[in-house]
């Protein structure tokens, strides 16, 4: 009874003092150092890092494989086109696009033209990845979940590309001096370089749709006015590259640095790329791959690739086993935190070498008139590609067989060198090959896709459950939801 009375007295005391305690409860339990309002400088680095990191992963896991830069000797489903549910790109980009939309809204609220310009560039790039990988995708309604739009409509790739090009043009017009940009992991706040990226991307995307749209006037207008519409320039060369340079310490290392040794060893040099580099006596093979273990042990290092698309047994036994097949380059793995690795293993949005190949093709096709010739752009692209890979170009390389420019095979040599230069750049080499067919990419003998190299990703399974009506409308318009249905610009 005594203990019960004590409990009653304690409860009464607590109730008596409760109002006094709760009057300042919020104040006492609020961290004065906590961030309560998100700001552009906090949003931007996360948007850049997570989206670029995703493309490094896409490059390693599927991009290098489908374009036959690398091949697999174990767990070969990707190489045989048993791709399954490739929803990583979809989920990452749409998650990021919500943050991009928030950054745009904050920029408009604060009249921050530079942050808005950068946001528009990132939005354009992300939507280009989505639509080039899948085809028709949610666009104008995609980031409106907060307002109750949970089943966004899919829009045609033609509409999406119009929006992408419009965003990039608007970004060029917005970006300018006077406002400091913080949190920029690509250019450290240099908005002039962001302007160059906006216009260089415009040229990339205009060329991409040039088989289905008349893009001559738009491309010419950009190239003809470097003051109003600057692009990656001769003066700076690779200094203008839109690449994310990683660091030596976690969590900002090259994403492949933390991969398991066994996982890294599954991926080897593709015979397609290896044979081409060997035929051209191209020393970039020393960066893209490692000599075989057997050849190192024998004191005579050599590089050997494995054919893409072999079954599990054939791939593992090729050339007598893994010791006789080259791994991918060490600078894309444990060597990525070395001084040279930091210069080579980068996250890629777009680079100067790619732009030179774009311009070379555009001039050759008569899409652009320039004071420079197609050959000049091409040769500049090759030189810059060697610089990008941190490899010295042999003095006779540009005049050697298979590399030397001639009008008769100009598009072949441009496309081939562009393919080599786009090693480990996400999905860009795959997108470009689908447009040009250069170089020859043949499905492996054990492929399970009817002998065809895939030309798109299938839509994520989650969309079949969460947004079935919109997805089905897109499929009815675009074509069967298979790896072999070409997107709008590829038809």
Cβ-proximal residues to 329 (8 Å cutoff; 6+ apart), any chain: 286, 287, 288, 289, 290, 335, 344
Residue 244: strand, helix, or coil? strand
State in words which class domain 40-255+339-490 has: mainly alpha
| C-alpha distances out from residue 143 to 158, 161, 180, 273, 379, Å | 19, 17, 27, 40, 42
Question: What confidence score (pLDDT) does residue 481 get?
Answer: 97
Closest CA to 195 of 163, 221, 231: 231
Per-residue model confidence as pLDDT tens for the chain (491 residues): 334 434 433 344 443 333 444 445 344 444 444 444 689 999 999 999 999 999 999 999 999 999 999 999 999 999 999 999 999 999 999 999 999 999 999 999 999 999 999 999 999 999 999 999 999 999 999 988 777 789 999 999 999 999 999 999 999 999 999 899 999 999 999 999 999 999 999 999 999 999 999 999 999 999 999 999 999 998 888 999 999 999 999 989 999 999 999 999 999 999 999 999 999 999 999 999 999 999 999 999 999 999 999 999 999 999 999 999 999 999 999 999 999 999 999 999 999 999 999 999 999 999 999 999 999 999 999 999 999 999 999 999 999 999 999 999 999 999 999 999 999 999 999 999 999 999 999 999 999 999 999 999 999 999 999 999 999 999 999 999 999 999 999 99
Peptide linkage before 2 cis (omega within 30 of 0) = no
First to last CA, the chain: 89
| C-alpha distances out from residue 385 to 25, 45, 332, Å | 62, 27, 17
Geometric angle at alpha carbon 273, from 270 and 279, rounded to 5°: 130
Domain ranges of the chain: 40-255+339-490
Q: Read off the DSSP letter of residue 270.
A: B
Gap between the Cα atoms of 88 and 320, Å rounded: 35
Question: What confidence score (pLDDT) does residue 146 get?
Answer: 72
Q: What DSSP assignment string belongs to 62-83? A: IIHHHTTSEEESSSTTTTTT--
Question: What confidence score (pLDDT) does residue 144 get?
Answer: 83
Gap between the Cα atoms of 145 and 137, Å rounded: 16
Tally of CB atoms within 10 A around 42: 14
Q: Residue 328, exposed/middle/buried by CB under 10 A (0-12, 13-18, 19+)?
A: buried
What are the tokens at 209? 């749709």
């Amino acid at each position: 009874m005594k203990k019960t009375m004590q409990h009653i007295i304690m409860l009464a005391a607590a109730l008596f003092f409760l109002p006094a305690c709760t009057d300042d409860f919020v104040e006492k339990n609020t961290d004065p150092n906590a961030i309560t309002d998100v700001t552009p400088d906090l949003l931007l680095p996360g948007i850049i890092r997570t989206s670029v990191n995703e493309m490094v992963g896409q490059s390693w896991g599927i991009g290098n494989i489908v374009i036959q830069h690398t091949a697999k000797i174990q767990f070969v489903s990707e190489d045989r086109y048993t791709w399954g549910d490739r929803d990583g790109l979809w989920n990452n980009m749409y998650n990021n696009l919500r943050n991009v939309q928030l950054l745009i809204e904050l920029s408009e609220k604060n009249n921050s033209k530079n942050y808005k310009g950068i946001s528009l560039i990132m939005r354009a790039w992300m939507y280009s990845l989505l639509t080039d990988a899948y085809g028709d995708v949610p666009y104008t309604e995609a980031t409106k979940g907060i307002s109750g739009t949970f089943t966004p409509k899919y829009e045609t790739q033609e509409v999406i590309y119009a929006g992408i090009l419009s965003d990039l043009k608007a970004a060029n017009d917005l970006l300018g001096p006077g406002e400091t940009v913080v949190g920029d992991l690509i250019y450290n706040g240099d908005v002039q370089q962001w302007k160059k990226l906006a216009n260089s991307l415009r040229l990339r995307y205009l060329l991409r749709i040039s088989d289905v749209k008349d893009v001559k006037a738009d491309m010419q207008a950009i190239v003809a006015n470097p003051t109003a519409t600057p692009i990656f320039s001769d003066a700076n060369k690779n200094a203008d590259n839109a690449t994310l340079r990683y660091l030596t310490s976690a969590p900002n290392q090259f994403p492949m640095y933390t991969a398991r040794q066994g996982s890294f060893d599954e991926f080897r040099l593709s015979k397609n790329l290896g044979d081409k580099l060997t035929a051209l006596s191209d020393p970039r093979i020393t960066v893209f791959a490692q000599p075989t273990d057997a050849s190192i042990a024998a004191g005579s290092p050599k590089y050997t690739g494995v054919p893409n698309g072999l079954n599990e047994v054939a791939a593992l036994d090729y050339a007598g086993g893994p010791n006789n097949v080259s791994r991918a380059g060490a600078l894309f793995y444990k060597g990525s935190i070395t001084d040279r690795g930091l210069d080579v293993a980068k996250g890629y949005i777009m680079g100067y070498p790619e732009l030179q190949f774009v311009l070379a093709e555009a001039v050759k096709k008569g899409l652009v008139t320039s004071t420079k010739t197609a050959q000049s752009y091409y040769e500049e692209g090759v030189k810059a590609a060697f610089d990008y890979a941190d490899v010295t170009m042999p003095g006779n390389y540009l005049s050697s067989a298979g590399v030397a420019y001639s009008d008769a095979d100009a598009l072949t040599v441009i496309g081939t060198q562009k393919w080599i230069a786009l090693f480990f750049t996400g999905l860009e080499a795959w997108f470009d090959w689908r447009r040009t067919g250069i170089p020859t990419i043949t499905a492996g003998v054990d492929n399970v896709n009817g002998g065809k190299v895939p030309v798109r990703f299938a839509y994520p399974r989650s969309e079949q459950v969460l947004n079935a009506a919109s997805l089905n409308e897109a499929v009815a318009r675009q074509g069967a939801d298979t790896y072999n249905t070409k997107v709008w610009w590829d038809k």
